[in-house]
Amino acid sequence: MVVTGASSGIGAATARAFAARGDTVVAVARREERLKALVEGVAATSPDSGYLAGDLGERGFAERIIHDTVARHGRIDVLVNNAAIPVRKILYEISVEDIEHAFRVNFFSAVWATLAAIPPMLEAGGGTIVNVSSFASKVVPTHETVYAASKCALNGFSEGLWNDLHGSGIHVALVHPGPIDTEIWSKGDAPVGYDGVKHPPETVADAILDAVDRRLHEIVVPRRNPTLGFARLLRLIAPGLVRFGTRRMDPVPEAAIERARARARRGQPLGEDSE
Ligand SMILES: NC(=O)c1ccc[n+]([C@@H]2O[C@H](COP(=O)([O-])OP(=O)(O)OC[C@H]3O[C@@H](n4cnc5c(N)ncnc54)[C@H](OP(=O)(O)O)[C@@H]3O)[C@@H](O)[C@H]2O)c1
């Protein structure tokens, strides 16, 4: 099986969990040293596991992880599309290039890998694809517009696959983690507004294994969480209240709007201020 984004956080926990029960894992990310350490750490239970290091923002690499896995192991039974980058920036300061890059890593890498995995899965009579989305695609936080949009695209793609792949033997699961304690929180460009509880990445790994084993379609993790459940319900029945609360919790600073106005007066497009 292939797990992308396996050098840290949820992907690393998922790769370890699969390997712990004896599955052969191909761990994918850019940081080779971490992948190597992960594979060495699971060798006792999963001696054939390996890794492929590269940039999933490149279509050629996203396709290669599937082709190499099939060439080396003869099949791909599970693909976990988990790699992603955060984009925590006020909209005024985002460039078109930032947006395209985020979509390549967070959305297109999953599409490229999925399209490459479908033929060998069809040939083998089936398989499972797990797409790791985000609760931020259900209730969109301030500063996370582009990240949420990339995850909403992944949701739409996954929901479409439920219909398109029906009858093929290929199952698609969509997993929406809530706040999980990983390094993603320190990677964005703006400070994080959220300072509540964060759950261990193993919680998501367990849910992914469960989704594969029981062919579940969609899971929010942690499951049966009252705060996430309430937020989803409120988003459905009182979206205006959710918009109000979100903006209060993490407001766009007046100074950022002023900076954007000054750029507009100078005839400059949106993006980071070089001055
Ligand atoms: N943590 C949360 O609270 C949370 C909440 C909702 C959803 N999620 C989702 O859960 C998934 C895992 O996130 P995480 O929290 O575990 O974050 P993380 O620790 O930052 O892991 C992200 C992984 O993606 C890989 N990655 C990023 N860009 C890549 C690229 N261009 N090419 C190849 N690999 C790349 C990273 O590895 P390299 O840097 O080594 O390439 C890393 O292994 C993501 O899809 C994220 O959106 C997380």
Element (H, E) at 95: none
pLDDT, averaged across the chain: 95
| Segment 207-228 mean pLDDT | 96
* Residue 8 vs residues 64, 67, 117, 147, 166: alpha-carbon distances, Å: 21, 24, 23, 19, 33
Which of 14, 28, 30 gets mutated to test ligand 1 (max ligand atoms within 8 A of its CB)? 30
| Residue 142 tokens, joined | 């301030």
Q: Is the CB of 111 under 6 A from ligand 1?
A: no
What pLDDT score does 250 carry? 86
| Residue 252 tokens, joined | 């766009």
Report yes or no on whether pTM surpasses 0.75.
yes
| Segment 183-212 mean pLDDT | 91
Residue 7 near residue 35, CB atoms below 8 Å: yes
Q: Give pLDDT tens digits for 31-50.
A: 999 999 999 999 999 999 99
CA of 84 to the centre of ligand 1 (A): 4
CA-nearest residue for atom 1, ligand 1, is: 180
What pLDDT score does 61 carry? 98
Local confidence band at 194 (pLDDT 50, 70, 90 cut-offs) = confident
The catalytic residues are: 147
Indicate whether 263 pLDDT > 70: yes
Indicate whether 102 pLDDT > 80: yes
Round to whole Å and give the CA distance between 208 and 216. 9
Name the least confident of 25-34, 186-195, 259-268. Answer: 186-195
Local confidence band at 275 (pLDDT 50, 70, 90 cut-offs) = low
Q: Find the Cα–Cα–Cα–Cα dihedral 25, 151, 249, 269, rounded to 10°.
A: 120
What pLDDT score does 272 carry? 76
What pLDDT score does 274 carry? 60
Which of 101, 180, 197 gets mutated to test ligand 1 (max ligand atoms within 8 A of its CB)? 180
Local confidence band at 5 (pLDDT 50, 70, 90 cut-offs) = very high
What pLDDT score does 142 carry? 86
Domains of the chain: 2-265 (3.40.50.720)
Q: Is the CB of 180 under 6 A from ligand 1?
A: yes
CA of 184 to the centre of ligand 1 (A): 6
What pLDDT score does 42 carry? 98
Indicate whether 130 pLDDT > 70: yes
Q: Give pLDDT tens digits for 52-96.
A: 999 999 999 999 999 999 999 999 999 999 999 999 988 999 999
Residue 65 near residue 113, CB atoms below 8 Å: yes
| Segment 112-137 mean pLDDT | 98
What pLDDT score does 212 carry? 98
Among the atoms of ligand 1, which is closest to the Cα of residue 177? 6
Indicate whether 191 pLDDT > 90: no
Instruction: Return the percentage of the chain with pLDDT > 90, whole number.
Output: 89
Indicate whether 8 pLDDT > 60: yes
- DSSP letter at 263 equals H
